[in-house]
Structure 1
Amino acid sequence: MKIENLRPFDGQHCETTATGTLLLQIGVELSEPMLFGLGEGLGFIYWNMKTMEFPFIGGRVKPDVLTRNLTRNLNLELTVKETSSQVKAWNHVKELLDKGQIVGLKLDCYHLEYFSNPFHFAGHYAAIYGYDTENAFLVDTRQQGGKVQTSLKSLAMARAEKGAMASKNLYYTIKKTDQKFDLKKIISAAIKNNAADYLNPPITNAGYKGILKTSTEIIKWFHTSKNIENEFSQAAILMEKAGTGGALFRNLYRDFLKESYELLQLDQLKTGYKEFSEIAALWTTLSRLFEKVSQTKEMESIHQASAILKIIAHKEKKTMEILGTL
């Protein structure tokens, strides 16, 4: 069966695409930058563990948090459930689909058969809108094909995978409530909340402090890397192409600030948009330097990348302080 009259969300980022598809079903239609911004999605993390092949550079809030923030700001009812039983996990989702409810899923994209270059990442999201005896029908990002399918077996494996960012067969639904939302009011609140979280990270490898730390950590990474060619190339791809919308999510936040300024006409938003336009360009330059490092293995490019990260840290801190005064 497939849910009829499906409106798939056409997005670049997996969580906003999955959640956006659920929102379209209940008549909430917003742009992807607006979903990202209202989800208070901007962040930064530099994560390096011995079990990881190479350090992870992330540019958004933790998985699950974006949808939670977004539905709270939009006065919608979010229901999130987990179970360690793969049988129960599928039966619960199947029951919802049979009732005409599109469901959001959290997955490890390594097992999804439509990924042309599979890699382990357990913080991936897709919306499921149907199934048959062998396959599940999903909505994923534009670059993954939009409306796609994967076998029920592969879906079960993707939902149950363990590791960093994994959940126990997590699925979620969104419903309307009696409360409406005032877009102009919630934009300001979401930006202030995001700024406060970004400027006060709980650990030193997050927020602008994390970017500063990364400026020195990448030099250590270069000297200890077992495979410079692959590691820095993969990091560049993850920053620029792996569902971030480009520039480690800064393009999405820049466009959110532009859309917000057009609605509210506030000076802080105009300044924020201008600054994030420059910041996004710096992140893209950084990813190109990482790619260059992978090709040339030259220390000079690492030092250039380190210098850019220090500039970015300063500019993001300053800009988020301005946005925090809304």
Structure 2
Amino acid sequence: MIIKDFKPFNGQHCETTATGSLLNQLGIEFSEPMLFGIGEGLGYIFWNMKIMDFPFIGGRVKPDILTENICKNLNLELEVKETSSVKRAWENVKYHIDHGKAVGLKLDCYHLDYFTNKIHFAGHYVSIYGYDDEVAYLNDTNQQGRDARTSLRSLALARNERGPMSSRNRSYTISRSGEMPNLKDIIKKAVLNNATDFLNPPIKNIGYKGISKTSTEIKKWFETSTNISKDFQTSASLMERGGTGGALFRNIYRDFLKESAIILESAELESASEDYNEIAKMWKQLSGLFESIGETENIVYVNQASEVLKELSEKEKSTMEKLREACL
């Protein structure tokens, strides 16, 4: 069973790509930056737990929240299902596909057949639009080939994996529930909410405070790591190519602000877009320093990375303060 009218979403980031493809089915078509911005998606987290091989650096709000915000702000109905039963998990998906409705999935990309870089990351998203006796048909990001296929067995393993950021076989669908609000109002509300959250993190490893904290934590990480090369190079790869952070989300948010500045005729949003263009370049520089740390194991690059993070914290705080004032 394959949904004939399914229109794949063309995206760089997994959750906007998965959710965007579900919106396409409803005739709701936005650019990826606009979806990310409407979803109040820009954020930061430095997350380190004993069960993790190395700390996680994320450049967006935590998993699931982006899609929840998109649906809330666009006045759409989001139906989420989770279960510990692998059989029930598949039935939840199969039912909707059999009725012509694509489904969003959250899973661990490690198990997917088409992923060549085998790293456990349970916060990955895809949409599924078809299946046969052996294979699932998925819409993934451009980096992963967009039109992807994996065995039903690998999909079940990916969905049922446990660990950081995992869910209990989470699947979701989206439906219309009424009139969509005015886009100008949606944008202003989303920017204000995103800026307010970024500037008022509940704990010190989130938002601009989290970026600042990372400037000291990477020194501890360097000193305690049992495999500096693997840790820092893998982190750099995840940020730049895996879609967890780095310049990716800053570039996407830059483009959202640029698009929104035209819609709202706002010089303030245009200026903030230019700020994030420079901020994104600094994140690119940071991932390069992480690569150098991994290649040389030289603390000089750790100290340089620490200084870049301190500056990034101040720049992002300042830009978000401007955005908050512009949308009050």
Matched residues in 2 for 1:161 and 1:310: separation? 36
Q: In the alignment, which residue of structure 2 is the partner of 1:111?
A: 111
Deviation for aligned residue 1:25: 0.5
1:145 aligns with 2:145: yes
Q: In the alignment, which residue of structure 2 is the partner of 1:14?
A: 14
Q: In the alignment, which residue of structure 1 is the partner of 2:301?
A: 301
Q: In the alignment, which residue of structure 2 is the partner of 1:180?
A: 180
Deviation per CA, 1:11-54, whole angstroms, max 9, x where unpaired?
11000000000000100110011111110001101011111111
Contact 1:104 1:126 in 2 (8 A): yes
Q: In the alignment, which residue of structure 2 is the partner of 1:88?
A: 88
Deviation for aligned residue 1:213: 0.5
Task: Give the 3-state SS of the residue equivalent to 1:149 in structure 2.
Answer: strand
Task: Give the 3-state SS of the residue equivalent to 2:263 in structure 1.
Answer: helix
Which amino acid in structure 1 is aligned with residue 240 of structure 2?
A: E
Which 4+ residue blocks in structure 1 deviate beyond 6 angstroms?
Answer: none
Deviation for aligned residue 1:299: 1.3
Q: In the alignment, which residue of structure 2 is the partner of 1:66?
A: 66
Q: In the alignment, which residue of structure 2 is the partner of 1:165?
A: 165
Deviation for aligned residue 1:92: 1.7
Deviation per CA, 1:52-84, whole angstroms, max 9, x where unpaired?
111111110010000000011111111111111
Matched residues in 2 for 1:128 and 1:121: separation? 18
Deviation for aligned residue 1:264: 1.0
Deviation for aligned residue 1:148: 0.9
Task: Give the 3-state SS of the residue equivalent to 1:119 in structure 2.
Answer: coil
Contact 1:3 1:97 in 2 (8 A): yes
> Structure 2 length normalisation: TM-score?
0.97
Task: Give the 3-state SS of the residue equivalent to 1:202 in structure 2.
Answer: coil
Q: In the alignment, which residue of structure 1 is the partner of 2:270?
A: 270
Q: In the alignment, which residue of structure 2 is the partner of 1:75?
A: 75
Matched residues in 1 for 2:127 and 2:50: separation? 33
Contact 1:12 1:244 in 2 (8 A): no
Q: In the alignment, which residue of structure 1 is the partner of 2:33?
A: 33
Matched residues in 1 for 2:274 and 2:132: separation? 49
Task: Note closer, same or farther for the CA distance 1:153–1:124 as it changes in structure 2 (3 Å cut).
Answer: same
Task: Note closer, same or farther for the CA distance 1:290–1:163 as it changes in structure 2 (3 Å cut).
Answer: same
Task: Note closer, same or farther for the CA distance 1:290–1:300 as it changes in structure 2 (3 Å cut).
Answer: same
For structure 1, the 5+ residue unaligned runs are none
Matched residues in 2 for 1:54 and 1:297: separation? 16
Which amino acid in structure 1 is aligned with residue 73 of structure 2?
A: N
1:280 aligns with 2:262: no
Task: Give the 3-state SS of the residue equivalent to 1:57 in structure 2.
Answer: strand
Q: In the alignment, which residue of structure 1 is the partner of 2:56?
A: 56
Deviation per CA, 1:252-297, whole angstroms, max 9, x where unpaired?
1111111111111213202211111111010000000111111112
Percent identical across equivalent pairs? 60
Q: In the alignment, which residue of structure 2 is the partner of 1:154?
A: 154
Greater shift, 79-88 or 262-271, is seen at 262-271
Deviation for aligned residue 1:124: 0.6
Contact 1:240 1:287 in 2 (8 A): yes
Give the number of equivalent residue pairs: 326
Deviation per CA, 1:201-248, whole angstroms, max 9, x where unpaired?
111011000111100111111111111111111111111111258614
Deviation per CA, 1:144-195, whole angstroms, max 9, x where unpaired?
1111111111111111111111111111001112222211110010000001
Task: Give the 3-state SS of the residue equivalent to 1:302 in structure 2.
Answer: helix
RMSD, aligned α-carbons: 1.1
Which amino acid in structure 1 is aligned with residue 306 of structure 2?
A: S
